[in-house]
Structure 1
Amino acid sequence: MLKFINYIKRNKIKSAIVVVLIVAYYFCLPQKLFKDPNATVITSESDELLGALIAEDGQWRFPASDSIPAKFKACILQFEDEYFYTHPGFNPVSIFKALKSNLNSGNVKRGGSTITQQVIRLSRKGQSRTYFEKVKEIILATRLEFRLSKNAILNLYASYAPFGGNVVGIDAASWRYFNRDASNLSWAESATLAVLPNTPSLIYPGKNQQQLLEKRNWLLKKLLKNGIIDELTYELSIVEDLPQKPYPLPQIAPHLLQKIAKKHRGERIKTTVKIGLQEQTNRIVKQHYQRLKQNEIYNISVLVLGVKTREVLTYIGNSPTDKSHQNSVDIIDKPRSTGSILKPFLYASMLDAGDLLPNALVADVPTQFGNYQPENFNKSYDGAVFANEALSRSLNVPAVRMLQEFGLDRFYHYLKQLGLKDLKHDASYYGLSLALGGAESNLWDLCKSYAGMASTLNHFNANSSQYFTNEFCQPIYNSNESIDFGQLRNEKEIFDAASIFLTFESMKQVNRPEGDDSWEFYDSSQEVAWKTGTSFGFRDAWAIGITKDYVVGVWVGNADGEGRPGLVGVQTAAPILFDVFDLLPKSTWFNPPYDEMINVNICKKSGYRASTICDDTEMRFIQASGKKTAPCPYHKIVHLDATEQFQVNSTCESISKINSTPLFVLPPLQAYYFKNKNPFYKSIPPYRSDCAETTEVAMEFIYPNQQSTIFLPKDFDGNTNNLVLKVAHSKPELELYWYVDNQFIGSTKDIHDMAVLPSSGDHTITVMDELGNVLKHNITITE
């Protein structure tokens, strides 16, 4: 060491030069050899190609791979650099032979470059092939050998070598020329690709086929000679055909590719998509598209999520339509009118808040709130309907009345907690139409929310009745990511498990659309909680289904918003939904979350907690918060005579003969519609003629509603049609007296319909019964 130090002291200039050269050698190689833009590549969860987006420079250049197939590796080494694993980056023997050949011929005949040198040359694109440049390549090649392993250098060559046209790298070449992954190539196909980088501008599939064939077969012969392949493999390989033209790359999930490219341009992303399910769903969408386009319905999107992992299993942003019908638009994340698809959230919110029991009766009668008058899809009314049935049948009027009773701001708060990002206005902007499609949302957020509900229920039952803090998280499509459900705690995140379970139980009962007796053909072979939706003007059709393991969402419509007759969720989206569910493994049904439920006595007729006078009850499990609901308000004690045909009291019958009977009694307007569909409904009997009446009476307008604006059409003769006024009375046998603007117009008995012909303008309708009870309505007439 002392001699070495003394030598440096004696030869300072030489030592300095050596140090400078060493430093220059160390830093001569750029830290990053290749800065070319890459294609964006997405693969399935099993690493199969789903699609690719060409690089920004117009080249099919896949991101560099960390390994190359064994067959191609053997071929490229035999063809380009047989001594690759033994030389230090350059091969002196090959260089000498090339130099001799070039000097003898007077021009460049051979290169003598190793694979390492070729990597350097590829990274220094555009450099002239001179002897000086060759020296640079040798220096840089030796430096590269110090930096990277032999396999890493070989991978760089395979990833950036040109294969003709705008194809760069083995991965892109194998798909473009053979339509499959490089790992699945035969010996003949691998040999074909191995010879292409040698002269990629002169020989590639579709050009100079004979020369390409000769080179390939020469390489196959060498593989046979060196014992890499056997005689049979050789004989079979040389008769394989050459590719004639490039194949288009797979586009199995093109809209997911677009989505990923926005954040990961030029990267290779392994997704969570199951390629088999994606391809089968693509075929289902194509089949339905061929049918729906006959009705000028051109766009379909489908999203399938795994509940337990929150992974995207299938992503179809649009149907295989054409450019004129916006085939490139990814509708999954686009805001669309929700129709009835939010109704289950309202039902779950009311259950969660303890404002509703699962099958409590709710009113289904003509209703008007200011200028807003909701209607059921079939234009009819049930009078009163169980809440769970109202949800399963997607009745609009009960939903709006429930929303009005629950509170618009309260429901809006639940929706904001779900993270529906397209709710960009305050609650008053949407009004009571919020439950019927007055707001917009997108398939991604809706599927995410229903998946969060299913996951909440699953985790509650699996984790000692506790909740995770991050159930309603964003789904993932990158297989390198995983969901963090947060911490376990006793408090719910949004909905309690019992409210979710009871909501899904109601959604499970959806087995046919209103008025469509053929729905049994759509029934799935497994239990599915599902809901459809149809937006105003028939612009959007929805169907979302939930099981323990999967959420499937479907949207059907036109991307430009054009409505079409027949564009109804249950007719267009639901068949696709169940076709997709038929592809999925069958799921068992959710387990009841008994720790969040209580067993109470329920009135069968009203669905409320049974009062002491309910005559038909049963024990049912309800959500724990439902214990604060009121007891049944519809049962009343009615005093009847021995025949039970008349009401009596102490003024006309001895107390010992009075039969005090509990009766199920609806308000007059509800009863008017209810008894039309429930023939066994019994109205309160009239008082016997010799009794003094003491019972309170009630009456309500059936038509028109309060503050209604009514248009009176004209008939073919030009005469204005009458307005028919209708009233429901708890004692229809009483005589009613009718007034328009305090002018008496007539009386009715038993059937309380009155035809009038008021003039245009504002009017007050007054009805008085013979007991002096008065009912008034204000209306506006237009012609």
Structure 2
Amino acid sequence: MNKTTKAFLISDIICLTLLLVFLFSLPQKLFKSPTSFVIEANNGNLLSAAIASDGQWRFPVADSVPIKFKNCIVAFEDKRFYNHFGIDFLAMSRAMRQNLKAKSVISGGSTLTMQVIRLSRKQNRTIWQKLLEVILALRLELKYSKEEIIGLYAANAPFGSNVVGLDAASWRYYGREANTLSWGEMATLAVLPNSPSLVHPGKNSARLIKKRNDLLDKLVRLNYIDQATANLSKLEPVPGKPLPLPQNAPHLLNRFKAERSNLDVISTRIKSTLDEDIQLKINSILKRYNNRFRANDINNISALVLNANTGHVVSYIGNIYQPENADLQSHVDMIKAPRSPGSTLKPLLYASMLTDGFILPHTLVPDVPTQIAGYSPQNYDLGYDGAIAADKALSRSLNIPAVKMLQQYKYERFYDKLKKLGIGTLNQPADHYGLSLILGGSEVTMWDLANTYMGMVRTLNHFNTYKGLYNPDDYKSATYIYSDHKDEEDYQRNSFLDHGSIWATFNAMEEVMRPGDEGLWEQFSSSQRIAWKTGTSFGFRDAWAIGLTPQYVVCVWVGNADGEGRPGLVGIEAAAPVLFDIFRLLPNGKWFETPTTKLKKLKVCKQSGYKAGEYCPNPVEELVPVAGIKTTVCPFHKLIHLDRTATFRVTDQCEKVTNMQHKSWFILPPAMEYYYKIKNSDYKSLPPFMAGCDNSGGNNVMELIYPKNGATIYIPLELDGTRGKIILNAAHRNLNSKIYWHIDHEYVATTTNYHQLAINPPPGKHTLTLVDENGERLVQVFTVLDKEKNGVR
């Protein structure tokens, strides 16, 4: 290889090396400074923002820069910006002449492109650094468009104090979006990056006004604005003290900060699905109620609104934000907080039992004093109906029927169903919750609860759209990040809850009387149809209300974030009025369509709500969920035999068959009958047997209401320290009958008509024997504890 060739090779290598250095000189990510987390409403307006981790208000790069700012900054900093390749040689030569003449640096000659490089490098300015800025500016122009470069400048230029970027400056100094600023306001901001210290409350305002006015005159010369606009703009005041940024969705902002890494979102700025107008109005509603509740030391309230048609979050208020008072714990996002759900899961059990063929909508369920393995649920009103239709038990939110239904359905099955529906807080085995699962014995979040009901709404809404099939995506959680993504069309024949059962459940939920309306709301044609449910947790710690229409799901929670209970903190009084005030803000649409092909006509016993059997008189035909075909026939209508006067029951031992009348009779078990006939005056008890007729013990004439067979009882001490008593309670079909009570085979007492007996048995296992005057016997056992165990009372 001769010297010439070698020299050319070396020069080629040097050129290639320099080219590679030039090409790779620009970092992959130009700006690495942390940015503020920013939440925008679905219309692009700012809802909330948080200061960046380095203490600067620095918003991520915006999608676009207002034309006013482009014109102002180009006129002020780099009038040939759109005509050079990153270096303005005319400006640099002018700056050199001015600096030499003044014997100091009075002009830099840097282009906007070079300033972007300088802002990204944050290095002390030397001749070497200036040369690097020139090289990197050329490289920047090759990689980015002019619009992108001016966007980088707008997002990263200093605007005084701890404000970086045009968007943050616009909100901090004017309290508005940058694209809404006037020419005078925009000109003021455009001069700040060159002299950011000009923004100081009470200082430098004269210098700032002069710079702004000079720029306005320059904009006139460049034909960006006319003289009249400039003159009016010069009359505008310049900003003083920085303004606080909006905090209209602070809890959603914190949620986004916590979830961003799992959401596959690169930017710290998102356009959310929240409706700004609705968000602000609900904030006002919650503040009004919060001021009222604070008088009773109830400090926290939250609301969540979901759009069932889109699966979007419409409003997200995790708490009334009051950072000035740390004791109120307003920073806690109650939408994410696990709390006892009270009765809000009861509709899910009702729908599950309809789906799986356990009940029909109006099936009678027991409502009598109940003790199950030491667990004694109570209705809120402490009363009993004896027997009540399942849908009425739901609309009245009765606890004992709900427990009886869960006992029939099995809590293990319901536990699995809740998990499938999206309740993600069941982190203990099913046995840990047991039957208390239906009365708030677990924990749920507002987020999971609202999304579960939204899944039901979406399933029913899509009945016709999916031609009777089901899409599992209907139960996907709502999203708060705006996107045009559509759910995949993966249809299935079966779902967690079927169309007919959901439809019947919403019908039952619609029957609840609204607070303050006294049932009169139905008389007004403008009233919105809403299916809803309230809940109150044990100890008055949580008040819930959840409501739905085909368009929206609204969930409200009221209480104290620290779990302190307060008297009067009940769902119907505290949360329900808030719920209906929120629904008044929302558009009203059509009610759910009836899923006719997922309902079957079935003959139903009008009195019992069961599938009609052969002895059910006057059955009615009703539309019921398909699985209703599998339910049992009415167990309460039986054929009885009466004498010729229809006064006494008889058997073939005491009356000829030809003299008998055979009638269908509605017969409830004695304990159910005992309470049922108090509230149902048309209930007819069984006639007594004719004298000389043998009952044969087959008519179940007596039942012990309390204690149940095998019950475990703890007898507490009275206030004076003496041992208390237990009240034994029995029911007999014959109101005038006598019952002879025996404990451990020893006679104790006789009762007539009302069969209650107060006793004080010693600790241990006891046998209780009841004998009526006809010799009918009932034998049961119960155990008295020596002291309280495991919370059993």
Distance 1:184 1:567, change over 3 A: same
Q: In the alignment, does 2:703 pair up with 1:700? A: yes
Matched, 1:317 2:284: no
Q: Deviations over 1:40-99 (max 9, x none)?
A: 111111111111111111111111123210111111111111111122322222222211
Whole-Å separation in 1 of the counterparts to 2:545 and 2:97:
75
User: For residues 7 and 386 of structure 1, what CA distance do their matches in structure 2 show?
Assistant: 105
Find the partner of 1:574 among 565, 573, 576.
576
The structure-2 alpha-carbon separation of the partners of 1:235 and 1:649, relative to structure 1 and needing over 3 Å to count, comes to same
> Is the Cα–Cα contact under 8 Å of residues 310 and 483 in structure 1 kept in the other structure?
no
Who is 1:100 aligned against? Answer: 97
Distance in 1 (CA, whole Å) between partners of 2:48 and 2:549 is 30
Task: Give the alignment partner of residue 174 of structure 2, picking from 172, 178, 182.
Answer: 178
Q: 1:366 aligned to 360, 366, 369, which one?
A: 369
- For 1:302, the equivalent position in structure 2 comes to 303
Deviations 1:395-432 (A, max 9, x none): 11111111111112111121121132111111111111
Query: Using a 3 Å threshold, how does the CA distance of structure 1 residues 125 and 732 change in structure 2: closer, same or farther?
Result: same
Change (3 A) 1:691 1:767: closer
1:12–1:725 distance in 2 versus 1, CA, 3 Å: closer
Counterparts of 2:375 and 2:482, CA distance in 1:
48
- Report the Cα offset of residue 759 of structure 1: 5.2
- Computed over aligned residues only, the root mean square deviation of the Cα atoms, in angstroms, reads 2.6
User: Which residue type is aligned with residue 35 of structure 1?
Assistant: K
Contact 2:250/2:321 (8 A) holds in 1? no
Give the direction of change, closer, same or farther, for the CA distance of 1:689–1:174 in structure 2 (3 Å limit).
same
Pick from 461, 472, 481 the counterpart of residue 458 of structure 1: 461
Pairing 1:195-594 to 2, within 5 Å after superposition: 195-203=191-199, 206-264=202-260, 267-321=268-322, 322-480=325-483, 482=485, 484-490=487-493, 492-512=494-514, 525-594=527-596
CA distance in 2, matches of 1:745, 1:28: 101
- Give the letter aligned to residue 163 of structure 2: V
TM-score normalized with structure 1 length: 0.93
Residue 685 of structure 1 pairs with residue 681 of structure 2: no
Q: Does 1:154 align with 2:150?
A: yes
User: How far 1:447 sits from its partner (Å)?
Assistant: 1.0
- Cα 1:654–1:353 shift into 2, 3 Å: same
Residues 494-547 of structure 1, C-alpha deviations (whole Å, 9 max, x = no match): 11111111111111111157xx98576899921111111111111111111121
Displacement of 1:780: 2.3
User: Higher mean Cα deviation, 422-431 or 656-665?
Assistant: 656-665
Cα distance in 1, alignment partners of residues 144 and 785 from structure 2:
88
Q: 1:67 to 1:760 in 2, by over 3 A?
A: closer
Write the distance in 1 (CA, Å) between the matches of 2:692 and 2:765.
44
Which range moved further: 344-353 or 679-688?
679-688
Range 494-503 or range 718-727, more displaced: 718-727
Structure-2 change in CA distance of 1:18 and 1:745 (3 Å): closer
**1:29 maps to what in 2?**
26
Matches within 5 A, 1:627-776: 627-641=629-643, 644-648=646-650, 658-689=660-691, 696-706=699-709, 707-709=711-713, 711=715, 724-756=727-759, 758=761, 762-776=765-779
Deviating more after overlay: 728-737 vs 503-512: 728-737
Name the SS of the counterpart of 1:336 in structure 2: coil
Against the structure 1 CA distance between its residues 217 and 519, is the aligned structure 2 distance closer, same or farther, given a 3 Å change threshold?
farther
Name the CA distance, whole Å, in 2 between partners of 1:485 and 1:286.
40
Counterpart CA distance in 2 for 1:596 and 1:607 is 19
The alignment status of 1:138 with 2:134, answered yes or no, reads yes
Query: 2:224 is matched by which residue type in structure 1?
Result: I
Aligned pair in 2 of structure 1 residues 735, 559: CA closer, same or farther (>3 Å)? Answer: same
Query: Deviation at 1:15?
Result: 4.5
Partner of 1:625: 627
The aligned counterpart of 1:167 is 163
Residue aligning to 2:610: 608
SS of the equivalent of 1:198 reads: coil
TM-score by length of 2: 0.92
Structure 2 alignment gaps of length 5 or more: 262-266, 788-793
Q: CA deviation at 1:357?
A: 0.8
1:204-232: CA deviations, max 9, x gaps? 56531110011111111222233222233
Which amino acid counterpart does residue 187 of structure 1 have in structure 2? W
Instruction: Specify whether residues 262 and 703 from structure 1 end up closer, same or farther in structure 2 by C-alpha distance, changes over 3 A only.
Output: closer
- The letter for the 2-side match of 1:584 is L
Q: What residue number does 1:120 align with?
A: 117
Provide the C-alpha distance between the structure 2 equivalents of 1:435 and 1:180, rounded to a whole number of angstroms: 49
Runs of 5+ unmatched residues, structure 1: 1-5
Counterpart secondary structure, 2:784: strand
Match of 2:790 in 1: none
Q: State the SS of the aligned residue for 1:462.
A: coil
Q: Deviations over 1:284-339 (max 9, x none)?
A: 11111111111111112211111122111111111234321221111212211121
The Cα offsets for residues 684-729 of structure 1, whole Å up to 9 and x where unpaired, read as 122344766567342111334442525376588x987765433211
Mapped contact 1:476–1:482 kept (Cα < 8 A)? no
Residue correspondences, number: 773
Deviation at 1:30, TM superposition (A): 2.9
Q: Distance in 2 between matches of 1:756 and 1:137?
A: 97
Contact 1:85 1:150 in 2 (8 A): yes
Q: Distance in 2 between the 1:763 and 1:359 partners?
A: 39
| Structure 1 residues 734 and 49, CA gap change in structure 2 (3 angstroms) | same
Distance 1:173 1:697 in 2: 83
> Which SS does the other structure have where 1:711 is aligned?
coil
- Cα shift at 1:193: 0.4
SS at 2:375 equivalent: coil
The percentage of counterpart residues that share the same residue type is 47
Task: Describe the superposition over 1:424-458 as per-residue Cα deviations: whole angstroms up to 9, x where unpaired.
Answer: 11111111111111111111111111111111112
The residue type equivalent to 2:397 in the other structure is S
Task: Answer whether contact 1:469 1:486 (CA < 8 A) is retained.
Answer: no
Question: Aligned-pair distance for 1:598?
Answer: 0.8
